[in-house]
Amino acid sequence: MPYWPQVKAFLDVVGYVSTAVVLVGALYGGYLIFSGFVPVLIRLGNGLTKRKIAIFAKGDALSSLTALFEDSDLFDVKNVVPITDVHDIGRAEKASIFLVHWPDWTENIPQILSRKGDRTALIIYAPQGRGLVSNEVIAELEKHRNVVLANLRGRLLNDVVTSLITTGYEKAKN
């Protein structure tokens, strides 16, 4: 075995190089996780626990939508602000998401849009069996940022979570 010392030396060098590649890859992967993924998780966690959601609905629709949030166990139900009358729209001022049940608020969309800030998400829930959103209203909604039009109840939680991530989170003042 006259070549064994050269083979061993070669394998040592290959081992050092592969160890260096793995370490650099792990450090780079850690950097990517902590610079991209972790901030999104923190924003989502803060959004789920601290941000307010104003639900514009009446009667059974309000209790049904509130139960949707409660049953999901993702949201703190104390952060849900029910809005049942046009005169109560001001209560939604501190909410970061407006969830509007279209059949109940068809005539009041301009008032809601006037209260919606640029960083506030607006989700219009318009079940197709209860009346379609007109082209004029859709054209008006397209002029605003962070607006979602959902026709299916199953999309609501997804749209709310997505809106919590994509809208800016401002730290609450103590």
**Alpha-carbon distance 47 to 134, whole Å?**
31
Tell me, yes or no, whether 171 lies in a domain.
Answer: no
Helices 153-166 and 38-50: angle between axes, nearest 10 degrees = 120
Distance of CA 136 to the CA centre of its chain: 27
pLDDT tens digits along 49-73: 788 999 999 999 999 999 998 898 8
Q: Is 123 helix (H, G, I), strand (E, B) or coil?
A: strand
7-64: per-residue pLDDT in tens? 888 888 888 999 999 999 999 999 988 888 888 788 777 777 788 999 999 999 999 9
b (16+ CB within 10 A) / e for 145-160: ebbbbbeeeeebeebb
Task: For residue 174, tell me if it sits in a domain.
Answer: no
Q: Structural domain of residue 108, as residue ranges?
A: 52-166
114, 38: one domain: no
- Judgement on whether residues 18 and 95 belong to the same structural domain of the protein: no
Judge if 79 and 154 occupy the same domain.
yes
The one-letter amino acid at 163: S
* CATH code, 106: 3.40.50.2300
pLDDT at residue number 174: 41
Residues 104 and 125 in one domain: yes
**55 burial via Cβ count (<10 Å: 0-12, 13-18, 19+):** buried
On whether residue 173 sits in a domain, the answer given is no
Each residue's pLDDT tens digit, 99-130: 999 999 999 999 999 999 888 999 999 998 87
User: pLDDT value at position 169?
Assistant: 54
The reply to whether 59 and 89 lie within a common domain is yes
Q: Which two tokens stand for residue 173?
A: 């003042």
Place of tokens 């969830």: 99
pLDDT of residue 14: 87
Q: How many domains does the chain have?
A: 2
**Which pLDDT value is given to residue 114?**
92
Residue 12 sits in the same domain as residue 61:
no
39 occurs within a structural domain: yes
Say whether both 75 and 137 belong to one domain. yes
Domain shared by 28 and 84, yes or no: no
**Is residue 172 helix, strand or coil?**
coil
Length of the chain: 174
